[in-house]
């Protein structure tokens, strides 16, 4: 790899290229958020990918799916293909493990990752990803956006880092039984939520920034967890107020010993 290629990001550290290239990243969901993340990871120099999406490009995706073109709609191009083309266009020697479907239907490849990005719509989907990341020791970075209300609409979103041995999304107040129950009452569907390209871009950039910091440690700051809240009307990303009022320092929801394949205990 040409040294010139990464000369503008040399501040990340002397061996940052190697560190980035050695890390295996997973992306679950290659829609509005995931396509941004893929693009940025490929620009930065990540070489090892495990990606999941079973959908094809639809007309309603073109307002935000990075890399998709109009011809991909009649061609019914898989989103996996869009992601692959994005990665290979920037990193021809990359290893891309693409899975056409839900990660839950083929979880083994995901477990090889060190960092997983969750770009899923439902709270239950986020919960399941976080559980898998805790069990197989992977940093989990969740992104999501939503539009609420009417006059004017309010755009909100979040980027959350949940790492094994530290606070989880329940600890941080993002995942609650009430949210999961409400979603389950709607048969688990998140519905066709409004989605636009620029909040996805902000959230994806913030998530990738966290990942690059984790890999290179260029900020030198401790980062056991993160919960960043996006206000799309104000155009701000701030640490969640929930974190400032947290009373706990250790996660009571995940045990450090709950790792590996589940084992049925004989009683």
Q: Which residue intervals of the chain are DSSP H helices?
A: 16-22, 32-44, 79-90, 123-135, 177-185, 197-216, 241-244
- Residue among 46, 103, 123, 136 that touches another protein (CB under 8 A): 136
Q: With CB under 8 A, what is the number of residues at the site for another protein?
A: 34
- 197 lies in the binding site for another protein (CB under 8 A): no
Q: Report CA dihedral (216, 220, 221, 223) to the nearest 10 degrees.
A: 20
Contact in structure between 162 and 130 (CB atoms under 8 Å): yes
Contact yes or no for 212/218 (Cβ under 8 A): yes
- DSSP helix/strand/coil, 37: helix
- Alpha carbons within 13 A on the beta-carbon side of 57: 23
Taking the least distance from each CB to another protein, the nearer of 98 and 232 is 98
- Does position 209 interact with another protein (CB under 8 A)? The reply is no
* Least Å from the CB of residue 139 to another protein: 6
SS3 category, 225: strand
Please report whether residue 215 would count as binding another protein according to CB under 8 A.
Answer: yes
Q: How far is the CB of 171 from another protein (least distance, A)?
A: 16
| Residue 196 beta carbon to another protein: minimum distance, rounded to whole angstroms | 32
- Residue 116 engages another protein in binding (rule: CB under 8 A): no
Tokens representing 115 are 């960092």
- Taking the C-alpha atoms of residue 66 and residue 194, their distance in angstroms, rounded to an integer, is 17
| Residue number, 77 or 114, with CB nearest to another protein | 114
Q: Does 162 bind another protein (CB under 8 A)?
A: no
- Rule CB under 8 A: which of 53-112 touch another protein? 108-109, 111-112
Of 66 and 212, which has the nearer Cβ to another protein?
A: 212
State yes or no: cis peptide before 152, omega within 30 of 0.
Answer: yes
Minimum Å distance from CB 235 to another protein? 28
CB nearer another protein, residue 115 or residue 159: 115
The one among 81, 127, 139, 170 contacting another protein by CB under 8 A: 139
- What is 140-205 written as a DSSP string? EEEEEEEEE-SSS-EEEEEEEEE-TTS--TTTTTSS-HHHHHHHHHTTT---S----HHHHHHHHH
Q: Which stretch binds another protein (CB under 8 A): 55-63, 183-191, 196-204, 257-265?
A: 257-265
Q: Which stretch binds another protein (CB under 8 A): 141-149, 183-191, 219-227, 233-241?
A: 219-227
Edge to edge, the sheet with strand 236-239 lists 95-99, 48-52, 24-28, 115-118, 139-148, 154-162, 225-231, 236-239
Closer to another protein by Cβ: residue 13 or 173: 13
| Binding flag, residue 23, another protein (CB under 8 A) | yes
Give the span between the Cα atoms of 27 and 140, in whole angstroms. 10
Which residues form the interface with another protein (CB under 8 A)? 19, 22-24, 108-109, 111-112, 114-115, 135-139, 163-165, 213-217, 222-224, 256-257, 259-261, 263, 265-266
């Amino acid at each position: 790899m040409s040294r010139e290629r990464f000369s503008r990001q040399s501040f990340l550290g002397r061996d940052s290229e190697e560190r980035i290239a050695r890390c295996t990243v997973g992306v679950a969901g290659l829609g509005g958020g995931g396509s941004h993340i893929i693009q940025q990871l490929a620009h930065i120099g990540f070489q090892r990918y495990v990606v999941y999406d079973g959908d094809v490009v639809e007309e309603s995706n073109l307002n935000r799916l990075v890399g998709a073109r109009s011809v991909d709609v009649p061609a019914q191009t898989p989103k996996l293909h869009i992601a692959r083309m994005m990665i290979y266009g920037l990193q021809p020697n990359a290893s891309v493990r693409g899975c056409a479907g839900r990660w839950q239907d083929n979880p083994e490849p995901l477990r090889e990752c060190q960092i997983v990005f969750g770009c899923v719509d439902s709270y239950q989907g986020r919960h399941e990803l976080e559980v898998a990341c805790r069990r197989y020791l992977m940093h989990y970075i969740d992104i999501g956006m939503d539009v609420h209300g009417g006059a004017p609409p309010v755009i909100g979103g979040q980027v959350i880092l949940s790492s094994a041995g530290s606070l989880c999304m329940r600890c941080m107040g993002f995942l609650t039984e009430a949210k999961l129950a409400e979603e389950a009452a709607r048969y688990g569907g998140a519905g066709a939520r409004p989605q636009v390209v620029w909040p996805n871009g902000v959230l994806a950039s913030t998530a990738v920034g966290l990942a690059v910091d984790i890999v290179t440690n260029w900020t030198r700051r401790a980062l056991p967890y993160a919960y960043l809240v996006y206000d799309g009307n104000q155009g701000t990303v701030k640490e969640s107020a929930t974190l400032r009022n947290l009373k706990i320092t250790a996660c009571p929801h995940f045990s450090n010993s709950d790792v590996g394949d589940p084992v049925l205990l004989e009683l």
